[in-house]
Amino acid sequence: MLLTEMNKAQLEEFKAECEKAYEAYKAKGLKLNMARGKPGADQLDITMPMLDVLNSSSDLTSEDGTDVRNYGGLTGIPEAKKLFAEMLGVSPEEIIVGGNASLSLMYDSVARAMTHGVLGSEKPWCKLDKVKFLCPAPGYDRHFSICENFGIEMITIPMLETGPDMDMIEKLVAEDDSVKGIWCVPMYSNPDGITYSDETVRRFANLSPKAKDFRIFWDNAYCVHHLTDTPDTLLNIFDECKKTGKEDMVFEFASTSKISFPGAGVAVMAASKANIAQIEKILGIQYISYDKINQLRHVRYFKNFDGIKAKMEEHRAIIAPKFKLVLDTLEKELAPLGVGEWHNPNGGYFISVNTLNGCAKRVVSLCKEAGVVLTGAGATFPYKNDPNDRNIRIAPTYPPLNELEIAINLFCLCVKLASAEKLLAE
């Protein structure tokens, strides 16, 4: 029976049962975490052999003769550029291989725009009265934090099944030259797990922004992070932009954080040669080079893009059962009651649950009180403001399966309890 169809007495009884079960959970003294998209220890274990590929007898010379131990090689060693160029479908000349964090490549790209502007800027963005970014939401909280950090005004764009609302985006970028950028996670979006449709990608490649220095921040964090035999496919944004002559409009980012090690992976940025020339001048003031030994370690270990794909199959074997457990539990516990909606993603790191309106904060708070940490309610929206207070991001990868089972059952219970409270208060 749907919760919304219950009468007051039924709801009271339902709530009382939930409360009793909830007290039992609280008595367990749980300490579980489904807050961040962190790989579990078992996922990190599968990449441990990478630590053996370079040792004291290794030749640490890169393809172009560079001693990777020494200074130099600002934009990365050639073999790393090739590897990531293949992964992202661009040429090695369109690649900058960074340090261990794509987040810092993104932050630094915005920071450089603030202090210097991008290619085509008339002045640094910090000299403008107002800079605005479009923020498809639910989205990635750390993208929004970068905007807040630099005082960039965020405009929420609704996410549809095909990606962000392109009608709204086309209109806003065409009308307002203070709109300088948009954050996109085009494949297995954080948190919805939506992959942008071909039409959406083509419409991005066809954007005609009023601002000559508008940039699409294409955070392709989950480009190889498939979870099924029938993965989503994403059009190559650079291929599409080359057709429209607008390839300067895109900064693409990715990393091996969820391929090798989150704390010691290799990040990468793809951009047009003209953009890279502009970036390189400033980057050369900030860095002499990123960690080239770690770049070489990654290339020698993965060898090529097939090596990366093979590793992702290993990850899938570990995390697909976790996603299945969460989705099965949601289906079993929440679907019959009609108190939640979610996507069934084909990849990525998250399951995005929408509760009844006005319940998300209460659910997160109930979970926390019983020892299960979730991403803060609202975090998936600009200014942490979910207008309907309904979106919760579940990150199933970090806890071991047995802990995850407890956590997701508690979560469902909290959704039920919060929903009953909500309906009774109406």
Determine, following the binding rule CB under 8 A, whether residue 383 of this chain makes contact with a copy of itself: no
Q: Identify the three-state secondary structure at position 282.
A: helix
Residue of the chain from 14, 34, 39, 191 that contacts a copy of itself (CB under 8 A): 39
Contacts to a copy of itself from residues 263-302, by CB under 8 A: 263-264, 282, 285-294
Residue of the chain from 44, 119, 318, 373 that contacts a copy of itself (CB under 8 A): 44
Task: Please give the Cα distance from 81 to 97 (Å, whole number).
Answer: 6
- Rounded to a whole number of angstroms, the minimum distance from the CB of residue 233 to a copy of itself is 28
Determine, following the binding rule CB under 8 A, whether residue 149 of this chain makes contact with a copy of itself: yes
Task: Please give the Cα distance from 27 to 256 (Å, whole number).
Answer: 40
Determine, following the binding rule CB under 8 A, whether residue 225 of this chain makes contact with a copy of itself: no
- State both tokens at 385: 């403001």
Contacts to a copy of itself from residues 55-74, by CB under 8 A: 55-58, 67-73
Determine, following the binding rule CB under 8 A, whether residue 123 of this chain makes contact with a copy of itself: no
Task: Please give the Cα distance from 379 to 179 (Å, whole number).
Answer: 22
Task: Please give the Cα distance from 294 to 376 (Å, whole number).
Answer: 34
CA-based angle 409:415:421, to the nearest 5? 140
Given its phi and psi angles, is residue 139 left (phi above 0), alpha (psi -120 to 50 degrees) or beta? beta
Does residue 233 contact residue 197 with C-beta atoms inside 8 Å? no
Here's the x/- map for a copy of itself, 237-266, by CB under 8 A: it reads as --------------------x---xxxx--
Classify strands 95-97 and 267-270 as parallel, antiparallel or unpaired.
antiparallel
Interacting span for a copy of itself (CB under 8 A) from 16-24, 49-57, 191-199, 202-210: 49-57
Residue of the chain from 36, 242, 303, 361 that contacts a copy of itself (CB under 8 A): 36
- Rounded to a whole number of angstroms, the minimum distance from the CB of residue 26 to a copy of itself is 25
- With respect to a copy of itself, which residue has the nearer C-beta, 38 or 322? 38
- With respect to a copy of itself, which residue has the nearer C-beta, 71 or 336? 71
| Count of residues engaged in binding a copy of itself, rule: CB under 8 A | 58
Interacting span for a copy of itself (CB under 8 A) from 104-112, 241-249, 309-317, 337-345: 104-112
Determine, following the binding rule CB under 8 A, whether residue 107 of this chain makes contact with a copy of itself: yes
Task: Please give the Cα distance from 107 to 217 (Å, whole number).
Answer: 11
Task: Please give the Cα distance from 170 to 83 (Å, whole number).
Answer: 34
- With respect to a copy of itself, which residue has the nearer C-beta, 59 or 229? 59
DSSP string, 295-347: HHHHHHHH-SHHHHHHHHHHHHHHHHHHHHHHHHHHHHHTGGGT-EEE---SB
- The binding site for a copy of itself (CB under 8 A) comprises 36, 38-39, 41, 44, 47-52, 54-58, 67-73, 99-101, 103-104, 107-108, 111, 114-116, 124, 126-127, 142, 145-146, 149-150, 257, 261-264, 282, 285-294
